[in-house]
Amino acid sequence: MQTTNKHYDIIIIGAGASGLFCAMHCAENKNVLLIEKNNLAGKKLAITGGGACNFSNEDITANNYFSHNPHFVKSALAKFSTSDICEYYTENNLHYETRDQGKLFGSKLGAQRLTDSLLKNYLALGGHTLFSAAVTRIKKIAPNENSAHLENSTHVGNSGNKNFLIETEKGSFSAENLVLALGSPAWQKNADPLFNYCAKEFTLATYPFSPALSPLFATHNDLNLCINTTGNALTVRLLVDSKEIVDQLLFTHTGLSGPAALRASLWWKKDTPIIIDFLPTDTISDVFEENKQEKILIKTLLGYKLPKKMLPFLFTEKILLTPCNALQKKTRELIAETIHAYSFIPAKIAPLQKAETTIGGFDTQNFSSKNMQATHTPNLFAIGECLDVAGDLGGYNLHWAFASAFAAAMHLK
């Protein structure tokens, strides 16, 4: 057990995507300690994008982010673009490719390679790490207490200002600057207790964490449709809270999943409908018009366009067995509305353990959008997903982790 009371210019809590990126940019000029409760860095980063890591997107704007303070992301995104992170990839011989909708992915084991590269670069610059050491308490040191702490500690940094005392399972450390890169409880059950501790200690307002980029559970109205169509995927257009999403939808035995449903969960407001166009590339009334002389059954005609198993859960048997040439205008309109504007009201969003990100975190009003510094606590910073910023599916969350880390690092280094 390590019990030394060393002092650093910067201590970063959390060796995830944002913590690693910030640490690497600061270590060139400053003495940095990166503290992580896990036994290794980037546990979540290393599983992103199915192991390949969807690290950014060709088209990054503030519209791709949900925050209670939607303008907050603008400054950091303006200072750290897609080409900046691509440059890192190229300089470090990390291969990447562009996939659908401008998504930038690393190679097959790209997520682990990126994690290793960030840590390696940080260590090469003389950065310090402390793993398996959960931070349990942080104390702000008042200026008049500073000299007492100075006498009792080993000085590693360039600066003598001891603004924070950080207690871990492996001893205590002091720092002039403290960066919270705590992440969120996505993919877990609960947030680390340090999140609430910091909120109280530094009087930071918070929004409760809730799951986002997570599957949608169906109510009993749609459950049979979902159960009986489980495993079928189709490209749909969704309208959710006036956002339009065109992506793959997957039916599951509990509701809807796939990129379209995950993305909808980011914008969905409880008890409101998500409007689904199951056939965005066709207009069903045109299809009926082309076939108005034909005896072909509606069931057969629609079966060419949609998964056959869906049909009995969308339409009555009478409609499905009607020949196209006998279709009434009213029924035509009913079919068109069901196919192009199906109203799906989710029961709820699947829990945090299934979520790729969260809505909620430290209220961004507490921080400068330029450098992520706390407005009322100088030298305290927060970056990445512990802030109330959630990105869309497609590389936006990691881009935010890097952009916010970069904004803080440019101020700190």
Please report, as ranges, the residues that interact with ligand FAD according to CB under 6 A: 13-19, 35-38, 43-45, 47-49, 53-54, 134-135, 181-183, 186-187, 192, 194, 356-357, 384-385, 395-398, 401
Measured from the CB atom, the residue of 39 and 93 that comes closer to ligand FAD is 39
Question: What's the min distance (Å) between Cβ of 20 and ligand FAD?
Answer: 7
By beta-carbon proximity to ligand FAD, the closer residue of 176 and 385 is 385
Q: Answer for the pair 350, 28: CB distance below 8 angstroms, yes or no.
A: no
- Which of 85/276 has CB closer to ligand FAD? 85
Q: What is the 3-state secondary structure (H, E, C) of 172-193?
A: EEEEEEEEECCCCCCCCCCCCH
Return the sign of the alpha-carbon dihedral for residues 265, 266, 272, 274.
negative
How many Cα atoms within 13 Å fall on the side-chain side of residue 29?
A: 9
Q: Which is nearer to ligand FAD, 348 or 354 (CB)?
A: 354
Q: Are 31 and 129 in contact (CB under 8 A)?
A: no
User: 208 near 359, Cβ under 8 Å?
Assistant: no
Cβ(352)–Cβ(358) below 8 Å: yes
- Among residues 197 and 313, whose Cβ is nearest to ligand FAD? 197
Q: Please report how close the Cβ of residue 396 comes to ligand FAD at its closest, in angstroms.
A: 6
β partners of residue 57: 103
Instruction: Name the minimum Å distance from CB 18 to ligand FAD.
Output: 3
| Closest distance of CB 358 from ligand FAD, Å | 9
What distance in Å separates the CA atoms of residue 292 and residue 310, rounded to the nearest whole number? 23
C-beta closer to ligand FAD: residue 209 or 344 = 209
Cα separations in angstroms, 123 against 116, 136, 238:
11, 25, 46
- In the complex, the smallest distance separating the C-beta of residue 104 from ligand FAD, rounded to whole angstroms, is 9
In degrees rounded to 5, what are phi and psi of residue 124?
-65, -25
Supply the minimum distance, in Å, between the C-beta of residue 384 and ligand FAD.
Answer: 2
Asked if 293 and 255 count as a contact pair (C-beta separation under 8 A), the reply is: no
